[in-house]
Structure 1
Amino acid sequence: MRRLVAAIALMAVLAACSGEKKQPPAPPAVAWSKVDVGSEPVALRAYGDQLLIGLRNRGAKVVPGLVLLDQGKQTPIAIKPNPASPYAYEAVWYSIAYDGKHLLALGGASGGAHSNTRWTVWTGSVAGGLIERPQVFWTFGGQDAGDLFSAVITSSGGRALLGSWGGVETGNDATVWLPQGDAKWNRLSSAKTALQSTPSLLVGPGFGTTLGKSVVFVGSQVRLAPNVVAQEAAVWRSADLNQGWTRIVLPDPGNRSQANTATCSKDCVISGYVDGKLAIWRLGADGKAQRLQGVPSIPVGDKDKLPPPIVDGDKIVQIVAQDNKVKVVTGNGGSWTVQESSGPQGLVTDAAVTQDHKVYLIAGTTLWETTLS
């Protein structure tokens, strides 16, 4: 009898095992190689096969650095003449715009009694170098100062600095600065546009880019109603530079969502989070948005840094740092894979892809390179 019971139990175990689905093997880790640029990389900007690398040079009276990487050759970009603003020597690159010829860069350094960011704006070209354009204090500072986060150049050559400023009515408004000539920058009013906050709707952008001749902000809006506070991922897009602003609430926002970064070409791919998990949206040139399905459930919090998504043909690549490890999320619709990384560790701050399918990543204080398969 005992033998019969044991045999039945063994058969049950074998039957259960035969019914289990075999898990597919984990995809191979992405192998990265270090790129020595001489100093600490802090910002990237790709254009065609070229990559601009913003460098932080620590030390007194040392200006930030900028290097052009083209077909494996590194060429330093001149920073000249000597910057005129004291904080230019301490500036860290926050954003660099490049259209193949012209450069626009935004630098920042903490200073003053309250350690607020002191902003510096730089213009120039690859051939002629970068020149700092000192501004009066009230251009970017003062009691109503908000934040700056992006320098952009549209396809029509329009230049702009993007950030936030004390609201016309309440909170902060999304804000655009445009150049007057080569040296002066003017902050434009957001009153009576989609960039303005109201007592029932607070505007919260945190990143900016361009789509053709349009400017694009991404972030979130907070709807305020009696006993209700709802934070929803949102996009603000102009028709032309600073004209004709519209607000687009991204679909399937869950209970709480945020758009963190975006990459735009023919359309925009936007990355952020919904209810604490990675989310990716696509925004068409027609203004219609969709949330991409099947994105792996990777934790993303309020303070986590997401580099802009990488778009290579039909392929979307989002790099995420989780538990000090770099993960590469790849998909093209509803099918996604997650790969571990061999090499880079630490906080991921920026990423870019060049036309020859090389991906560059800043993780920790190191620049890394791999090639998309």
Structure 2
Amino acid sequence: MRRLAAVAILVLATLTACSDDKPPTPSTVVWTKVDTPAEPVTLTGHGDQLLIGLRHRGAKVVPELLLQDSTGKRTQIAVKPNPVSPYAFEAIWYSIAYDGKQLLALGGAAGGAHSNTRWTVWSGTPQTGLIERPQNFFTFGGETAGDLYSAVITPSGRALLGSWGGVVTGNDAMVWLPKGETWTRQDPTKTALQSTPNLLVGPGFGTTLGESIVIVGSQVRLAPNVVAQEAAVWRSTNLNQGWTRTPLPEPGNRSQANTASCAKDCVISGYVDGQLAIWQLDASGTAKRLHGVPSIPVGDKDKLPPPIRDGDKIVQIVAQDNKVKVLTGQGDHWTVQDSQGPDGQVTDAVLMPDHKLYLIAGTSLWQTTLS
């Protein structure tokens, strides 16, 4: 009997030790709602400063912009529309770029007989305020107008990114550069930004990597009896010079790159065959698809905040059935954590140097601290 009891104790101890070796279940991420005077729509981080772009839904009120410092103190940046530009008074922030000194913002408001987006461009500094710079209608409008999606600032200059009616066919990827206060479309002819009868370019999001502009989206290859949509990235060598296009690897039957964030390299988020996909693009232009990414459905109309670099980890926030999930990857190992607090569509996220992570979900701003 004593021998049997000893064996039983040994077996129990072994089972307990084995159970202790199992990886812990990821804990729920608890978020705290951050009060804002209006609905948050954009987040832009630079160093320990956070820009929060706001809108007043359903009201023709000038959009707002707040600058938050490392202590959490907020300063309202003056937003100054031009009286001759009625759409500036109801603009919604689409993209705000900030390099620590300059501000460049892209706003849009539906208008006209067809409710097309009427674009407004704003520039300035936190000290002088964000001042609207009215443009000729045909700068961003007209029969061949496409879309705009990002404002960017590089050490070599500023740019607005979008699309425009193709030189040959379809739409081309388009870059606008400033000349004084006037923005001018650049000619994409015979560059990687141009669509051809065999390949249509489909950009949708832009950011920067040093002197380079980085654009992500998809390319559609056209061949007899073949139409293939593949995630792709475009990168310049310096502002609008030296563009190259890189199809992203392992594109499946249909793929799209939605957002990106770049520091020493770029991390790109999108989907392959309706499931979340994440790629890395190194400084030399070599891309790889990351493996082990959890199977999270992502469709054409779903939003993905830019992926986040946290040391050697990658953090991607997604909403599945309006439930916010936090995905963390290191190598090929990924964890999925549920969230307590936010729900609804997720649209933007920024990680600050103090490890505070800010998120726009639904119509609210949320904050948590990454461990």
Corresponding residue for 1:41?
Answer: 40
Structure 1 position 26 matched with structure 2 position 35: no
Structure 1 position 191 matched with structure 2 position 189: yes
Corresponding residue for 1:7?
Answer: none
- Residue 25 of structure 2 aligns with an amino acid whose one-letter code is A
- Residue 209 of structure 1 aligns with an amino acid whose one-letter code is T
CA RMSD of aligned residues (A): 1.3
Contact kept, 8 Å, 1:222 with 1:231, in 2: the verdict is yes
**Could you tell me which of 225, 229, 232 is aligned with 2:230?**
232
Corresponding residue for 2:117?
Answer: 117
Q: Tell me, which stretches of 5 or more residues in structure 1 are unaligned?
A: 1-17
Distance, in Å, in 2 between the alignment partners of 1:221 and 1:130 is: 35
**Could you tell me which of 198, 201, 208 is aligned with 2:199?**
201
Contact kept, 8 Å, 2:156 with 2:239, in 1: the verdict is no
Distance, in Å, in 1 between the alignment partners of 2:300 and 2:59 is: 33
Corresponding residue for 2:84?
Answer: 84
Contact kept, 8 Å, 1:84 with 1:132, in 2: the verdict is no
SS at match of 1:138: helix
Corresponding residue for 2:216?
Answer: 218
Distance, in Å, in 2 between the alignment partners of 1:225 and 1:116 is: 33
Contact kept, 8 Å, 2:82 with 2:88, in 1: the verdict is no
Residues 259, 59 of structure 1: alpha-carbon distance in 2 compared, 3 angstrom cutoff: closer
SS at match of 1:151: strand
Contact kept, 8 Å, 1:83 with 1:131, in 2: the verdict is no
1:24 CA displacement = 4.7
Give 1:239-318 correspondences, 5 Å limit.
239-318=237-316
Cα deviation digits, residues 191-213 of structure 1 (max 9, x gap): 11000000100000100001100
Distance, in Å, in 2 between the alignment partners of 1:140 and 1:80 is: 20
Corresponding residue for 1:6?
Answer: none
1:58 CA displacement = 3.7
SS at match of 1:177: strand
Distance, in Å, in 2 between the alignment partners of 1:350 and 1:83 is: 30
Distance, in Å, in 1 between the alignment partners of 2:368 and 2:186 is: 41
Corresponding residue for 2:143?
Answer: 143
SS at match of 1:251: coil
SS at match of 1:337: strand
Cα deviation digits, residues 218-253 of structure 1 (max 9, x gap): 000000000001111000000100000000011111
Residues 311, 83 of structure 1: alpha-carbon distance in 2 compared, 3 angstrom cutoff: farther
Cα deviation digits, residues 267-316 of structure 1 (max 9, x gap): 00000001111100000010001101101011111111001001121111
1:84 CA displacement = 3.5
Report how many aligned residue pairs link the two structures. Answer: 352
Contact kept, 8 Å, 1:176 with 1:187, in 2: the verdict is yes
1:157 CA displacement = 4.4
Contact kept, 8 Å, 1:282 with 1:290, in 2: the verdict is yes
- Residue 345 of structure 2 aligns with an amino acid whose one-letter code is L
Corresponding residue for 2:4?
Answer: none
Corresponding residue for 1:65?
Answer: 64
- Residue 89 of structure 1 aligns with an amino acid whose one-letter code is F
Contact kept, 8 Å, 1:349 with 1:362, in 2: the verdict is yes
- Residue 260 of structure 2 aligns with an amino acid whose one-letter code is A
Residues 83, 363 of structure 1: alpha-carbon distance in 2 compared, 3 angstrom cutoff: farther
SS at match of 2:107: strand
- Residue 174 of structure 2 aligns with an amino acid whose one-letter code is T
Distance, in Å, in 1 between the alignment partners of 2:330 and 2:308 is: 12
Contact kept, 8 Å, 1:262 with 1:308, in 2: the verdict is yes
Corresponding residue for 2:357?
Answer: 359
Distance, in Å, in 1 between the alignment partners of 2:81 and 2:243 is: 37
Corresponding residue for 1:173?
Answer: 172
1:81 CA displacement = 5.8
Distance, in Å, in 2 between the alignment partners of 1:263 and 1:84 is: 36
Cα deviation digits, residues 50-91 of structure 1 (max 9, x gap): 100000024654210000111211110011265531000110
Corresponding residue for 2:367?
Answer: 369
Corresponding residue for 1:131?
Answer: 131
1:39 CA displacement = 0.5
**Could you tell me which of 334, 337, 343 is aligned with 1:339?**
337
Contact kept, 8 Å, 2:268 with 2:279, in 1: the verdict is yes
Distance, in Å, in 1 between the alignment partners of 2:230 and 2:240 is: 23
Contact kept, 8 Å, 2:104 with 2:151, in 1: the verdict is yes
Corresponding residue for 2:108?
Answer: 108
Scaled by the length of structure 1, the TM-score of the pair is 0.92
- Residue 179 of structure 1 aligns with an amino acid whose one-letter code is P
Q: Which runs of 4+ in 1 moved over 4 A?
A: 21-25
SS at match of 1:142: coil
SS at match of 2:150: strand
Aligned identity (percent) is 76
